[in-house]
Structure 1
Amino acid sequence: MTDQRNGEQQLARLRAELDDIDAELLDTLRRRIDCCVRIARHKSTHEVPMMQPARIELVKGRAAEYGETHGIDTGFLENLYDLIIGETCRVEDLVMGNGTP
């Protein structure tokens, strides 16, 4: 019975740690989107096109290198960054074309 209780407590601690990591991840995503809003405003002011393919490749390449170094599947990171970049492009487009979201 004690082993089961210890196991449940350990699982609860690990889940609490995971919840904290998830909160940090979501906050980081929010900060990334906020930064992209500022970038979109700068691009708008200076007449820079929203889409910057070279920058996208640089960011995705950096993520792939990180994955290789830290044992994270690079295909997963590519898919993740496709989603993140897609959302930030959507937000930048709104800021540059239709006002601040």
Structure 2
Amino acid sequence: MATREPSPQERQLEDLRGELDALDERLLEVVRERIEVCVRIARHKSAHGVPMMQPHRIGIVHERAARYGERHGVDQEFLRRLYDVIIEETCRVEDLVMGNTPAH
């Protein structure tokens, strides 16, 4: 049984999904790179006796994301929630690197 040729609309949708998949790959790569930088920051903090938690930095990151959202038409509340998740994970990683919490 022969397979049918995809319609032009189906091909276009597949092309768009391919673009989205490539963007997702880049996004995940950037998140991984960000975590790697946070590991280096945690090592620096440990070496120099700097506390892990720096609450003012969270405000700076949120504010920068809000300004980006305003400039580019991305919902600011979405960006705040996105950074909350990213910050939660990077704090967890920093705690592990700095020996503040046991590994799971």
Q: TM-score, normalised by structure 2?
A: 0.89
Q: How many residues align?
A: 97
Q: Which runs of 5+ in 1 are unaligned?
A: none
Counterpart mapping for 1:1-101 below 5 A: 5-97=7-99
CA–CA distance in 1 between the matches of 2:58 and 2:48?
19
Alignment identity in percent?
Answer: 63
Q: Which runs of 5+ in 2 are unaligned?
A: 1-5
Partner amino acid for 2:98?
M
Partner amino acid for 2:92?
R
CA–CA distance in 1 between the matches of 2:14 and 2:85?
31
| Per-residue CA distance 1:9-40 (angstroms, 9 max, x = gap) | 10000000000000000000000000000000
CA–CA distance in 1 between the matches of 2:43 and 2:78?
31
RMSD: 1.5
More helix by share: 1
Structure showing greater radius of gyration is 2
CA–CA distance in 2 between the matches of 1:97 and 1:56?
21
Structure 1 stretches of 4+ moved >4 Å: none
Q: TM-score, normalised by structure 1?
A: 0.92
CA–CA distance in 2 between the matches of 1:95 and 1:30?
16
